[in-house]
């Protein structure tokens, strides 16, 4: 994973993504450089438009805070129901199947 991060860092800094630069970033992070992984990454990214790949990547969205009500509007509150005992029981059955 650190190799991909190194490539993204180089891209962000508008530096060429080549073997020497990727290896330098990995070394600077304190990790040990695996030359085969560096070569594979650089070869895999040779024909990739990183900017387009970033735009096309799915983004995990964190739970957003509730939106503020409109001026003069009423704020509606929805109650969150606790998980039912049946659901917890089913989850435990599923876990027991994992461990025999």
Average pLDDT over residues 2-30: 94
| Residue 35: pLDDT over 90 | yes
Q: Which domains does the chain have, with CATH numbers?
A: 2-56 (1.10.10.1410)
- With a cut of 90, say whether residue 28 has pLDDT above it: yes
Distance CA 53, CA 98 (A): 37
Q: Report the sign of the C-alpha dihedral through residues 89, 93, 96, 98, in that order.
A: negative
Tell me the per-residue pLDDT of 47-66, one tens digit each, with 9 for 90 and over. Answer: 989 888 888 888 766 655 55
pLDDT at position 100: 47
pTM: 0.56
Q: For 37-46, how does the pLDDT look when each residue is reduced to its tens digit (9 = 90+)? A: 999 999 999 9
* pLDDT for 12: 93
Which string of DSSP letters, residue by residue, matches 40-79?
HHHHHHTT--HHHHHHHS--PPPPPPPPPPPTTPPPP--P
pLDDT of residue 53: 87
Do the Cβ atoms of 33 and 26 come closer than 8 Å?
yes
The overall average pLDDT reported for the chain is 78
> Is the model's pLDDT at 71 over the cut of 50?
yes
d(C-alpha 63, C-alpha 65), whole Å: 7
């Amino acid at each position: 994973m650190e190799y991909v991060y190194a490539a993204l860092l180089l891209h962000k800094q508008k530096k060429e993504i080549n073997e020497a630069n990727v290896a330098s970033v990995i070394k600077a992070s304190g990790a040990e450089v695996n030359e085969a992984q560096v070569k594979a990454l650089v070869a895999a990214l040779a024909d990739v438009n990183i900017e387009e790949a970033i735009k096309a990547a799915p983004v995990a969205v964190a739970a957003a805070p509730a939106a503020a009500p409109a001026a003069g509007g009423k704020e509606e509150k929805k109650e969150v129901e606790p998980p039912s005992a049946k659901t917890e029981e089913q989850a435990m059955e599923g876990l027991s199947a994992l461990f025999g």
